Structures are given as structure tokens and as C-alpha cells.
């Protein structure tokens, strides 16, 4: 087949893979860039009948498996039937499949940055896709029997969105060569698959069920999370199985300690890239998938069952297959990921539709010791301060590494926060000249490279958190300006009212002073003094409010101007000076060099010092300490801290000013009412009780409108009174008042009599008769 390069309009691109029986070649069309992965059997007469049956069965199975997570087959172009005939001596069917450009999962796991597992986003995607494929196979009574990273490929959708937009990756199962159709009661007895991923019963039992795929799926899940297999990965199956057989149901990990002892754990390795809530959820699922007993594996049975082979079709209340439903439930859980800028730590929590920010703050307070009332939570998408009443689910995004940032109002960064250092790193720094065997050195180099990546991720989140705080302060300044303008309008309205009342009071004061000077009406003016004093006090308070408000306006303008300057330039300069790139490059070289040297050297029993990776670990801690120390004194950090405190103070002042303005407005309204009541009460008293018309203020003397002519003075209508006629005037006024009182009394009696006559209880129909 190596000699065949052109077939019709198709060009051979490269060989994608070659197994024990078949070879997969990528072919590309000349005109439309279509790509096909074509698998042919490279053997001829050497094949046994069993091998031929297996090959044919794989082709048939793939053609019948219509699932997005199982590699799809394509109808073979006619030209390949004849064109590949020389390269197909077996005459077996040629398998034409869709091309998955992302390679296989083993290639991803072999990368240095995956030495301690993949990111949570990738883990969730892989588990979801492979879980869907395996569920489909098992529902169709097909057992794969060879599930492993090498048999999982990545289909990358091309041309999706902008260049910066991550391309969608779909994980697909390939190679059903070992797959076998079984019914619910059948068993298999062939020894197939990759040894390290085989279920235990394939080694010690002649029979097995599709639960062997549960075991392989569990091993796969553990490896993509931790970067290594869970059960003594440095030993052959014949060596690790006796130890794993002794594990309890809750144990999902069996490993060798630094001193060579075998230890059991119910947790995955702490060196991973997944969140704590997801870790706890996936550990529960792994206990089900990695159950030693195949009769219980993948099931919800609380104790051993009596039947030999689990039956999918029978209704058994004690044991049901839950491995796929439990995985689906786990993957639907929503986890909010928060980065604490102050404590430089990543935290996460499982949430539901009703979880509020207030509840989230309670959880954060327990993990970071930041008091609830001191917390500021910022969304990195809107750069807004999130309120306590909002729902957390609003900010959940499964594709985001950090969904919310949390800060302490009084402290931007706590430089005394200690890093989370893996145990292997602590040991190598304490005993930097210690000797390491192959297993221990592998763990050390893996953990060290993981530590470098983890610190880089934390540093990136920290820088983004600082930038988010800067942007949030811009938003906060805009909100404060809007709030300030609203209160400023209220303060202006209060000032306008005060000016009107002040003029009224000033006129009142002058008027009363004139009356006092003439000794007129002084007996009725005692209540005004208190009102005038209260108005003066209110005027003084308003003036103080106005002065303080003017100063606040200047402060706010200054703070808003500083917040709009931003910190992007300063941040970029700082990151350009302090970053982990050199350390990462050095760690990568050291890690790759170590793997190659150990891989190609046949002597794995010898011990050696690991001074190169020890130096890397020391450099990481030294740089981290240097970064935190320098950050404390950076102008942009000090500016953000000052602005945060300044805006908090301004916000408090605006709130207090709002309260004071409302209170002064209320006090002013009360004083105006009191002043008005006092005026009219005084008038009423004077009119009712005055014995001498001369004692009445001129303002309460009433004249009819018709008595006046335009242009004439009011005084011309007044009757001059001489001293000799005072008694006569008094007598006339007294008689006039008596006559008015008698008249009023008679009117009231007459009205009463009329009302009585109209009442229905009187039978007086004659009143309604008309005169004839």
C-alpha cells in the first residue's frame, strides 16, 4: 500500500495508525479538501477464520452504530475498491471512516502539561461523550472490551466562529475489533484488550459480562483526572491484582508510598486540576465503576447478590445498573468557581437554582476568613459588584475557569498567604540531596511540573482579578455619579425651599420688630420667637450640609478621574517583568529530559539525585514570594486599594446625605406648617378677643373690595377717631358685635327648624300642597 499514492481524485496524505491487523490511511480529495480515514487489513492468507470473523464483525458493527460519539462510517468511493485491491490481499471489507483531525486521547495524555490530568472542562466533556457512546453500545448489547485512551479520537469542528473562539471538540470511540454482541444472559470467554485496562475477572475467570467496560471506563476517568492509573501503575497486572483485590468498596486508589509501602485511599490524588465539589462527586462515581466484584460493579446493590452474572433485563430491586445515570447526574451538577484575590486561592461550590449571593458569601467566609460584610464579589463579564439578593446561577458558565472574583474591602492582597505545595515537593525541598528510585522520581517530576502549572494558573487568575477590580471601580464611579446627581438635585431643591422660608422669616422678623417698637399687638407674638430660632437652626444645618456636599462633589470627581485611568498599562508592565515563562520553559525541558532518560535506560532500579527539578521547585516558590512582595508596593495596587476605600466612604456619605436631606426637608415642612398655624392662630385670637380696634394689627382689618377705588389710599376710608370719641366707638363696636352674634344665633335656629320640617318622621303632607 506504500506504493499507492493516487487513486482517482484522491491523494494519500499519511498513515494515521497501524495495528496488529490493520492500517489506517488518511486520503484527501484534490478539489474539495474532503478527507477520509480508510482502514485495510494488511494480512492475506495468514489470517485465521477467527481473525476474518473479527474484522468483518467490526465493519458491520461500525456501520450499524449511529451515535455522535462513535466514529462514523462513510460509503467507500467506488474508485477505492479497485484502487486498493493490490493493498488488500485478504479481500476483507475495506472500512471507510470519518476523519477525526484531533488525534487520539493518548496523545493528549502524553503531553507534559497533562502529567497530572486535564482541566475540569475537558474532563467533563470526555466523560459525557464516552459515557454516551458506552451507554449506546450496552443498550444495543455490545461490549467494547478494549476501551482505552488510544481508542478515543477527537473530532475538531473547523470554521466555528472567530479565530479566538475555542473550536468544538467531540470525543469518539473507535476500534470495535474486539467488541462482541452479547445478550443479557450470555457470557464471554475470550482474553482480549490491553492488559492495563482489563477488568480483573478477565485474568482469573473464564466468564465475564459487559461490566468489564465499567472497569475500563473507571480507569480511563481516573487517568484523565490524575494523569496516571489508580492501581499501582508501575506494576504489571499480575503484580497489582493481589493488592487491589483486598481493597474496600470505598477505596478507589492503591499506590506505593515513598518508602515502598502499599497504601489504600478513598480519594483521588490531590494533584489535579478539578474543583473540590466535582472531585467529591466523581469519587462517588468511581467507587461504583471500580468495584472489584463484577456482580456489583456499576450497580447500586448495597451488599453482594446471589446471582452469578448480572442481568440487564430482569427487575431486581436489590441491584440496578446505575453507572450511566449516576454519571449523567454528576455531570449536570452546577459548580460555581470563585477566585479569592485577597487570599490568592481558588474555591468552588455546588449550587442550585435558588442559591443566592448572600449564601455564597457565607460559604466563602468559612473558607477564606473574609468577613461577610467585608466581601466584594465582582463578575468578570460585567465588572459589576454583585448584590446579595441575586441568584448565583446567573453567573454560572460551564466554560469559564473563574466565574466570580471575591475581594476584601480593607485589603487587596494578603501577601502572607501560603501556597498549596504537594507533599513530594515539600520532601524534596527539605531533603534536596535525597536519592530517588524510578517510581519516586516519576512522582516527583510529575508533581513538580504540576506545581509550576498550578502556580501559573493562580498567577493568571490573580492578574485578571486585579484587572477586574480596576474595571469594576470604573463602573462603581459611574454608579456613584448617578447617585450623587440624584441627591444633588434633592439638596438643590432643599436649598431653594430654605431660601423662600428664610425670606418669609426675615420679613416676619422685621414686621414684628416694627410692631414691638410701636407697642402694638405685642401680647399675641410670643410663639414666633421659637419658630424663628428653629428656622435659624435649620438654616445652619442646611448650610453645613451644603458645604459638606460641595466638598464631596470635588472628592467624587477626583476619584472618578483616577478610576478611569485604569491599570492595564501598569499591569502589562508588571507581568512583563514578573512571570513564570522562564521557569515553565526550564521545567518543561527538565521534565521531558527526565522522561526520555528513564524511558531509554534499561536500569530502573538505580537511584539518583533530582537536583534539576528541586531547583525548579525552589525557583517557583522564590518567584511567587517576589511577586507578592512587589505587588504590595505597586502604585496600581495602592491606587485600587485607595479607590476602593474612597468609594466606600463616598457611598456612605451619599447615603447619609440622602437621609439628612430627607430629614431636613421633613423638618422644614413641619416648621412651615408651624409658622403658618402660628400666624393664623394669632389672627384668630386677635379677632376674637381684641377689646380695642386700635390694638388690632392692620393686616387683620377687613375691608370690602367695593369700598376701594384704584389709586386711592386705604387710609382715606378709615374714620379718624379723636380721644373724646373713644367711648362712643367702643360702644358702637360692642353693639355691632352683639347684633352680629344675635343674628348668627337666629340663623342657626331657623336652619334647625327647616331641617326638622323636612324630616320624614313628621307627617305633614299639607306642606306639599299647592295653594288653589
Which helix H or strand E contains 171, and what residues bound it?
A: strand 169-173
Whole-number percent of the chain with pLDDT over 90: 50
DSSP characters over 751-770: HHHHHHHH-TTS--GGGGPP
8 A C-beta contact, residue 348 and residue 335: yes
* pLDDT tens-digit readout, 83-108: 888 888 888 888 898 999 889 999 99
* pLDDT the model gives residue 271: 95
Sorting pLDDT into bands at 50, 70 and 90, what band is 132?
Answer: very high
The grid coordinates listed for 211 are: 461490566
The grid coordinates listed for 415 are: 501577601
Is the confidence at residue 165, as pLDDT, over 70? no
* pLDDT tens-digit readout, 426-473: 999 999 888 998 899 999 999 999 999 999 999 999 999 999 999 999
Sorting pLDDT into bands at 50, 70 and 90, what band is 525?
Answer: low
Q: What letter would DSSP give residue 198? A: S
**In terms of Cα–Cα distance, which of 95, 96, 88 is closest to 44?**
88
> CB-based contacts of 620: which residues, under 8 Å, 6+ apart?
451, 452, 455, 580, 583
Assigned CATH class of 334-397: alpha beta
> CB-based contacts of 516: which residues, under 8 Å, 6+ apart?
522, 525
Is the confidence at residue 653, as pLDDT, over 70? yes
Average pLDDT over residues 731-747: 66
* pLDDT the model gives residue 684: 72
Quote the strand ranges of 176-311, DSSP E: 180-181, 253-256, 262-265
Going by their DSSP bridges, the two strands 404-408 and 375-378 should be labelled as antiparallel
CA dist 725 and 708 (Å) reads 25
The grid coordinates listed for 74 are: 462513510
Angle between helix axes 438-517 and 635-689 (nearest 10 degrees) is 30
* pLDDT the model gives residue 764: 39
Q: The domain 102-304+320-332: what is its CATH number?
A: 1.10.510.10
Phi-psi region of 117 (alpha: psi -120 to 50; beta: other; left: phi over 0): left
Average pLDDT over residues 158-176: 72
**In terms of Cα–Cα distance, which of 228, 252, 232, 256 is closest to 242?**
232
CA dist 258 and 442 (Å) reads 11
CA dihedral angle for residue 585, residue 590, residue 595, residue 596, rounded to 10 degrees: 90
* pLDDT the model gives residue 484: 92
* pLDDT tens-digit readout, 555-591: 999 999 998 988 889 999 999 999 999 999 999 999 9
* pLDDT tens-digit readout, 253-298: 999 999 999 999 999 999 999 999 999 999 999 999 999 999 999 9
Sorting pLDDT into bands at 50, 70 and 90, what band is 743?
Answer: low
Residue 146 annotated in active site: yes
* pLDDT the model gives residue 772: 41
Q: Which of 88-97, 620-629, 686-695 has the lowest mean pLDDT?
A: 686-695
Sorting pLDDT into bands at 50, 70 and 90, what band is 189?
Answer: very low
Could you confirm whether domain 412-718 is CATH 3.40.50? no
Q: How far apart are the first and last CA of the chain?
A: 138
* pLDDT the model gives residue 640: 92
* pLDDT the model gives residue 703: 42
> For residues 402 and 101, which has the higher predicted lDDT (pLDDT)?
402
Sorting pLDDT into bands at 50, 70 and 90, what band is 70?
Answer: very high
* pLDDT the model gives residue 762: 42
The grid coordinates listed for 62 are: 461500525
Sorting pLDDT into bands at 50, 70 and 90, what band is 618?
Answer: very high
Q: Which of 226-240, 371-385, 725-739 has the lowest mean pLDDT?
A: 725-739
* pLDDT the model gives residue 187: 41
CA dist 664 and 674 (Å) reads 15
Sorting pLDDT into bands at 50, 70 and 90, what band is 53?
Answer: confident
Is the confidence at residue 40, as pLDDT, over 90? no
In terms of Cβ atoms closer than 10 Å to its own Cβ (0-12, 13-18, 19+), residue 279 is middle
* pLDDT the model gives residue 253: 95
Is the confidence at residue 677, as pLDDT, over 60? yes
Which superfamily does 1-99 belong to?
A: Phosphorylase Kinase; domain 1 (3.30.200.20)
Quote the strand ranges of 596-661, DSSP E: 608-609
Q: How big is the CA angle at 61 (ends 184 and 13), to the nearest 5 degrees?
A: 150
* pLDDT the model gives residue 91: 86
**Catalytic residue (choose from 104, 129, 146, 175):** 146
**In terms of Cα–Cα distance, which of 218, 352, 197 is closest to 282?**
218
Going by their DSSP bridges, the two strands 435-436 and 608-609 should be labelled as antiparallel
* pLDDT the model gives residue 56: 84
Sign of CA dihedral 157, 160, 162, 166: negative
Which pTM does this prediction carry? 0.79
> For residues 699 and 532, which has the higher predicted lDDT (pLDDT)?
532
Average pLDDT over residues 623-639: 92
CA dist 757 and 548 (Å) reads 70
CA dist 300 and 325 (Å) reads 11
The residue with cell 490531590 is 270
Average pLDDT over residues 139-164: 80
Is the confidence at residue 704, as pLDDT, over 50? no
Reduced to 3 states (helix: H, G, I; strand: E, B; else coil), residue 187 is coil
CA 478 → CA 10, 483, 558, distances in Å? 62, 9, 13
What does the mean pLDDT of the chain come to?
Answer: 83
* pLDDT the model gives residue 177: 61
Is the confidence at residue 393, as pLDDT, over 80? yes
Most confident of 175-179, 291-295, 317-321, 732-736: 291-295
DSSP characters over 368-412: H---GGGEEEE-TTT--BPPTTSBGGGG--TT-S--EEEEETTBS
Helices and strands, number each (H, E), in the chain: 18, 17
CA dist 221 and 215 (Å) reads 10
Most confident of 188-192, 350-354, 699-703: 350-354
Sorting pLDDT into bands at 50, 70 and 90, what band is 597?
Answer: confident
Q: How big is the CA angle at 460 (ends 455 and 464), to the nearest 5 degrees?
A: 145
* pLDDT the model gives residue 674: 82
What b/e readout covers 65-79, taking b as 16+ CB neighbours within 10 angstroms?
Answer: bebebbbbbeebbee
* Rg, C-alpha atoms of the chain: 46
Sorting pLDDT into bands at 50, 70 and 90, what band is 497?
Answer: confident
CA dist 239 and 603 (Å) reads 19
Whole-number percent of the chain with pLDDT over 70: 81
Is the confidence at residue 372, as pLDDT, over 90? yes
* pLDDT the model gives residue 702: 42
* pLDDT the model gives residue 33: 80
Amino acid at each position: 500500500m506504500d506504493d499507492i499514492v493516487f487513486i482517482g481524485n484522491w491523494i494519500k496524505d499519511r498513515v494515521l495508525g497501524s495495528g496488529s491487523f490493520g492500517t489506517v490511511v488518511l486520503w484527501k480529495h484534490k478539489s474539495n479538501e474532503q478527507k477520509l480515514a480508510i482502514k485495510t487489513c494488511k494480512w492475506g492468507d495468514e489470517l485465521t477464520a477467527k481473525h476474518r470473523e473479527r474484522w468483518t464483525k467490526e465493519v458491520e458493527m461500525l456501520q450499524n452504530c449511529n451515535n455522535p460519539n462513535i466514529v462514523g462510517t462513510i460509503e467507500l468511493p467506488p474508485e477505492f475498491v479497485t484502487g486498493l485491491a493490490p493493498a488488500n490481499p485478504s479481500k476483507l471489507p475495506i472500512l471507510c471512516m470519518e476523519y477525526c483531525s484531533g488525534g487520539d486521547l493518548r496523545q493528549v495524555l502524553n503531553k507534559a502539561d497533562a502529567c497530572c490530568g486535564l482541566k475540569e472542562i475537558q474532563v467533563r466533556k470526555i466523560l459525557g461523550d464516552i459515557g454516551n457512546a458506552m451507554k449506546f453500545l450496552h443498550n444495543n448489547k455490545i461490549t467494547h472490551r478494549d476501551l482505552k485512551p488510544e481508542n478515543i479520537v477527537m473530532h475538531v469542528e473547523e470554521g466555528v466562529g472567530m479565530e479566538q473562539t475555542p473550536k468544538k471538540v467531540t470525543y469518539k470511540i473507535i476500534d470495535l475489533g474486539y467488541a462482541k454482541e452479547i445478550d443479557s444472559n450470555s457470557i464471554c470467554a475470550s482474553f482480549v484488550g490491553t492488559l492495563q485496562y482489563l477488568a480483573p475477572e478477565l485474568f482469573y475467570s473464564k466468564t465475564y459480562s459487559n461490566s468489564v467496560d465499567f472497569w475500563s471506563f473507571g480507569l480511563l476517568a481516573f487517568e484523565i483526572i490524575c494523569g496516571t492509573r489508580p492501581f499501582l501503575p508501575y506494576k504489571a497486572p499480575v503484580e497489582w491484582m493481589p493488592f487491589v483485590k483486598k481493597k474496600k468498596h470505598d477505596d478507589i486508589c492503591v499506590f506505593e508510598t515513598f518508602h515502598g509501602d502499599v497504601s489504600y485511599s478513598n480519594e483521588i490524588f490531590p494533584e489535579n486540576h478539578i474543583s473540590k465539589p466535582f472531585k467529591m462527586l466523581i469519587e462517588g462515581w468511581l467507587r461504583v465503576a471500580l468495584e472489584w466484584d463484577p456482580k456489583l460493579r456499576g450497580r447500586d446493590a448495597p451488599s453482594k447478590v446471589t446471582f452469578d452474572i448480572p442481568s440487564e433485563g430482569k427487575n431486581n430491586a436489590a441491584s440496578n445498573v446505575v453507572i450511566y445515570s449516576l454519571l449523567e447526574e454528576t455531570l449536570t451538577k452546577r459548580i460555581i468557581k470563585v477566585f479569592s484575590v485577597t487570599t490568592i486561592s481558588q474555591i468552588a461550590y455546588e449550587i442550585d437554582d435558588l442559591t443566592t449571593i448572600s449564601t455564597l458569601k457565607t460559604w466563602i467566609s468559612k473558607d477564606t476568613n473574609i468577613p461577610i460584610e467585608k466581601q466584594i464579589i465582582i463578575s468578570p463579564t460585567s465588572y459589576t459588584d454583585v448584590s446579595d439578593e441575586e441568584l448565583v446561577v446567573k453567573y454560572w458558565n460551564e466554560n469559564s475557569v473563574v466565574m466570580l472574583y471575591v475581594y476584601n474591602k480593607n485589603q487587596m492582597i494578603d501577601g502572607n498567604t501560603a501556597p498549596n505545595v504537594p507533599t513530594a515537593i515539600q520532601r524534596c525541598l527539605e531533603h534536596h540531596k535525597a536519592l530517588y528510585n524510578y517510581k519516586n522520581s516519576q512522582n516527583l517530576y510529575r508533581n513538580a511540573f504540576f506545581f509550576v502549572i498550578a502556580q501559573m494558573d493562580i498567577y493568571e487568575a490573580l492578574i485578571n482579578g486585579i484587572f477586574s477590580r480596576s474595571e469594576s471601580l470604573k463602573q462603581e464611579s459611574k454608579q456613584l455619579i448617578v447617585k450623587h446627581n440624584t441627591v444633588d438635585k434633592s439638596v438643590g431643591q432643599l436649598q431653594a425651599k430654605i431660601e423662600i422660608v428664610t425670606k418669609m422669616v426675615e420679613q416676619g422678623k422685621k414686621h414684628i420688630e416694627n410692631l414691638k417698637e410701636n407697642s402694638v399687638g405685642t401680647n399675641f407674638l410670643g410663639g414666633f420667637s421659637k419658630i424663628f430660632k428653629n428656622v435659624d437652626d435649620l438654616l445652619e444645618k442646611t448650610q453645613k450640609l451644603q458645604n459638606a456636599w460641595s466638598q464631596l462633589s470635588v472628592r467624587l470627581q477626583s476619584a472618578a478621574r483616577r478610576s478611569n485611568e485604569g491599570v492595564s498599562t501598569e499591569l502589562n508592565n508588571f507581568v512583563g517583568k514578573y512571570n513564570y515563562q522562564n521557569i515553565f520553559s526550564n521545567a518543561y525541558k527538565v521534565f521531558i529530559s527526565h522522561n526520555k532518560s528513564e524511558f531509554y535506560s534499561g536500569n530502573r532500579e538505580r537511584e539518583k539525585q533530582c537536583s534539576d527539578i528541586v531547583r525548579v521547585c525552589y525557583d517557583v516558590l522564590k518567584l511567587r514570594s517576589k511577586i507578592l512582595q512587589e505587588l504590595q508596593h505597586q502604585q496600581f495596587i495602592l491606587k485600587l486599594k485607595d479607590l476602593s476605600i474612597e468609594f466606600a466612604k463616598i457611598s456612605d456619605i451619599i447615603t447619609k446625605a440622602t437621609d439628612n436631606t430627607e430629614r431636613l426637608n421633613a423638618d422644614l415642612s413641619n416648621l412651615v406648617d408651624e409658622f403658618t398655624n402660628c400666624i393664623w392662630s394669632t389672627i384668630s385670637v386677635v379677632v376674637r378677643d381684641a377689646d380695642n380696634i386700635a390694638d388690632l394689627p392692620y393686616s387683620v382689618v377687613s375691608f370690602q373690595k367695593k369700598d376701594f377705588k384704584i389709586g386711592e389710599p386705604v387710609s382715606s376710608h378709615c374714620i379718624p377717631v379723636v380721644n373724646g370719641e373713644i367711648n362712643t366707638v367702643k360702644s358702637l363696636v360692642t353693639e355691632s358685635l352683639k347684633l352680629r352674634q344675635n343674628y348668627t344665633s337666629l340663623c342657626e335656629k331657623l336652619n334647625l327648624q327647616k331641617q326638622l320640617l323636612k324630616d320624614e318622621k313628621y307627617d305633614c303632607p299639607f306642606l306639599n300642597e299647592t295653594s288653589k
